[in-house]
Amino acid sequence: MKNWLFRKQNQIFILLIIILCSCLFIFIVNKNNSDNYVLINNHKILVELADTDKLREKGLSGRSNLPENRGMLFIFPQERIYSFWMKEMLIPLDIIWIKNNKIVDYHQNVPFPEPGITNDKLKTYSPKEPVDKVLEVNAGTIEKIKINTGDNITVKGYN
């Protein structure tokens, strides 16, 4: 009887630890995603940050969808002309080029590559001038919220 009770207590303890870890994970993921956003023309876009070489290299590749009003903000350590490609992308995007929190260029409705296309055949996209940030959002977002060059953006949640 004692042995059974001890095993039952261990099972309950382990279950509580699993539940606690799951809740903590969900909290951290939601906190990270909800605290980082950009405002463009009074329109809030929740962003994932790509602020390391590894995150910038991966970007949104391999994703089959991107929820509305979501995107990825690439943050670079210095202003340069950064080239982007659509390697392993499965969805079309709008690419917004940003310098000092001002939109300096954009590419609309950038298509994802045809299946089987080799890396050397992928088109690259670059801004007209050096930038320190790039925002990738769903294709059609630029038109939907009437983004223009010269528009200011506000970045929240990034230190």
137 SS3 class: strand
Its pTM stands at 0.77
Helical ranges in 36-139 per DSSP H: 53-58
- Residues 63 and 6 both lie in one domain: no
- Residues 93 and 140 both lie in one domain: yes
- Residues 43 and 31 both lie in one domain: no
Q: What is the pLDDT of residues 97-148, one digit of tens each?
A: 999 999 999 999 999 999 888 999 999 999 999 999 999 999 999 999 999 9
- Residues 17 and 95 both lie in one domain: no
Q: What is the pLDDT of residues 58-80, one digit of tens each?
A: 999 999 999 999 999 999 999 99
Structural domain for 18, as ranges: 1-35
Tell me which residue of 49, 52, 21, 25 sits closest to 35, measured CA to CA: 49
Count of structural domains, the chain: 2
What CATH number is given to the structural domain containing 119?
2.60.120.1140
